[in-house]
Amino acid sequence: MIGKCPNCGISLTEPPFENRETNEVVITLKYRKILDNDMKPKPVNESGICEICDATVEIINLQKKFI
């Protein structure tokens, strides 16, 4: 169990869960696809949304307030 998104670091088991992927298998597959294509995921601050789990900057900041 990874517990965190490898790109943005958001906890997968803590709320808020608004429109973001929390299934670790799907997250691992998305991350492996990016790595296998010799790409790097874009930083969340740059794009506004995590390419791996679809968390927005607002969701990440909300979670930091609760934890």
Q: What is the mean pLDDT of each run of 10 residues along the chain (67 residues)?
A: 91 93 95 95 93 95 88
| Residue 23: predicted pLDDT | 95
Dihedral angle computed from the Cα positions of residues 58, 50, 8 and 38, in that order, rounded to the nearest 10 degrees:
-160
Q: Which of 17, 14, 13 is nearest to 1 (CA)?
A: 13
Interval 23-34: pLDDT, tens = 999 999 999 999
Q: Is residue 67 within 8 Å of 31, Cβ to Cβ?
A: no
